[in-house]
């Protein structure tokens, strides 16, 4: 834990100084699902780097001072050896997955499982049987993953039910984003308008009060999502703090504007990374700093309502 903290300090320092500290990399353009809300299928995808080229690319980024990596796809678990290689090159590695291919042991890496609500909602979006398969694999994981849900009109009524179910499983915690539309595709069935976020945010904070740090959402983060508070301080590409500290790449190594691609509608952004960063440091907020530390550190154990994590932290 002390060693992890020592590695985290330079990353946070680089971000505060508005220097690039991390890379978000699509390590594959392939996916075994076709989720209805996914921006991925709205884009053209070039060929991906092969294994040797990808590892060489990782090392080049690390040589430029990038200490952390976030792996996306497609489905990153289709390339488990590349996930492992990233964790050996970078100080911190986060890997997003749909969970259907399991959670291979990645030393120093943190798996993040994307689900879209309880079984009936998740499978309506991701396909029949996906929820049960992901949960089955989750229960066999050697280290608890973080669960992430993108909040949409479809799953918003079920946030309490979903949180209760997930926290009854061996998970590290739950993270939340709001659905971010593309300029090329604005789906009114999915999008919760910025003006309607406040009620959802209050419910997330009530869940935080009930379950403790396993609910990865703080009051400081909530303020960043509200048009009456901090949202308009960052909701353009030019003002986005993540665009300053994070380089994003396609599976062939070419740069792209954002983790959501080149056509994300920043005026309606709901990205958890932005609200966590601004919530933690603008102004400084200890609870949200702990949340970021918990995300980076595989050994971190969040405090529950009894005030202790599994390891007493």
Q: Is 38 helix (H, G, I), strand (E, B) or coil?
A: coil
Whole-number pLDDT of residue 117? 97
Cα(201)–Cα(180) distance, integer angstroms = 16
Q: Is 18 helix (H, G, I), strand (E, B) or coil?
A: coil
Whole-number pLDDT of residue 261? 85
Is residue 246 within 8 A of residue 24, CB to CB? The reply is yes
- 159 is written with which tokens? 């946030």
Cα(138)–Cα(99) distance, integer angstroms = 7
- Continuous H helices in 230-284: 241-245, 272-281
Nearest to 114 by CA among 155, 82, 153, 84: 155
- Could you give all domains of the chain from N- to C-terminal order, each with its CATH number? 2-296 (3.20.20.70)
Q: What is the pTM of this model?
A: 0.92
Cα(219)–Cα(205) distance, integer angstroms = 7
Q: Which residues, at least 6 apart from 133, have a Cβ–Cβ distance to it below 8 Å?
A: 99, 100
Whole-number pLDDT of residue 34? 82
Is residue 83 within 8 A of residue 95, CB to CB? The reply is yes
Strand partners, 92: 68
Give the residues of the chain that fall short of pLDDT 70. 1-19, 39-45, 185-186, 306-313
Whole-number pLDDT of residue 240? 93
Cα(196)–Cα(261) distance, integer angstroms = 25
């Amino acid at each position: 834990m002390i060693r992890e903290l020592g590695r985290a300090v330079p990353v946070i320092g680089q971000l505060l100084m508005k220097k690039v500290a991390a890379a978000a990399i699509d390590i594959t353009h392939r996916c075994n699902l076709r989720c209805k809300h996914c921006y991925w299928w709205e884009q053209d995808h070039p060929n991906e780097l092969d294994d040797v080229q990808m590892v060489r690319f990782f090392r080049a980024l690390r040589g430029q001072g990038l200490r952390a990596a976030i792996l996306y796809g497609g489905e990153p678990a289709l390339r488990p050896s590349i996930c492992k290689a990233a964790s050996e090159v970078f100080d911190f590695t986060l890997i997003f997955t749909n969970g259907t291919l399991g959670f291979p042991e990645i030393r120093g890496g943190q798996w993040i499982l994307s689900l879209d609500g309880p079984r009936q909602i998740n499978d309506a979006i991701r396909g029949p049987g996906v929820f049960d398969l992901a949960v089955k694999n989750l229960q066999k994981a050697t280290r608890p993953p973080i669960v992430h849900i993108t909040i949409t009109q479809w799953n918003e009524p079920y946030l309490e039910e979903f949180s209760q179910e997930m926290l009854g499983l061996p998970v590290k915690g739950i993270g939340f984003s709001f659905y971010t539309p593309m300029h090329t595709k604005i789906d009114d069935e999915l999008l919760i308008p910025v003006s309607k976020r406040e009620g959802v945010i209050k419910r997330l904070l009530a869940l935080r009060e009930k379950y403790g740090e396993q609910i990865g959402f703080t009051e400081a983060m909530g303020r960043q999502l509200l048009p009456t508070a901090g949202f308009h301080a960052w909701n353009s590409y030019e003002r986005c703090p993540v665009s300053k500290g994070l380089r994003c790449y396609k599976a062939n190594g070419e740069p792209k504007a954002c983790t959501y691609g080149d056509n994300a509608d920043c005026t309606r952004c709901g990205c958890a990374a932005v609200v966590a960063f601004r919530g933690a440091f603008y102004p400084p907020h200890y609870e949200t700093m702990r949340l970021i530390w918990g995300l980076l550190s595989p050994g971190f154990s969040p405090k529950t309502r009894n005030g202790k994590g599994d390891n007493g932290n």
